Amino acid sequence: MNEFLHILSQPDNLPIAGMLLAVLALLGVWLRQALRNDRLLRDERASDIGEEMRR
């Protein structure tokens, strides 16, 4: 694990490591949005999804 972190923190590898973290973080943001949309569908408020995404 230490060797992996050592390789990951090399200057030339920082961009790709940053990209992996950014993709994971943004995937989380969109999954939260998807859960909110699913909750609206479950509550039979499908027509509110557009408004929810415009907030």
Q: Which is nearer to other proteins, 1 or 29 (CB)?
A: 29
Q: Rule CB under 8 A: is residue 53 a binding residue for other proteins? A: yes
Does 43 participate in binding other proteins (rule CB under 8 A)? no
The set of residues, in sequence order, having a beta carbon less than 8 Å from that of 13 and lying 6+ positions away, is 7
* Distances, alpha carbon 38 to alpha carbons 23, 27, 41, in Å: 22, 16, 5
The least CB distance from residue 8 to other proteins, in Å, is 15
Residues that bind other proteins (CB under 8 A): 12, 15, 18-19, 22-23, 26-27, 29-30, 33-34, 46-55
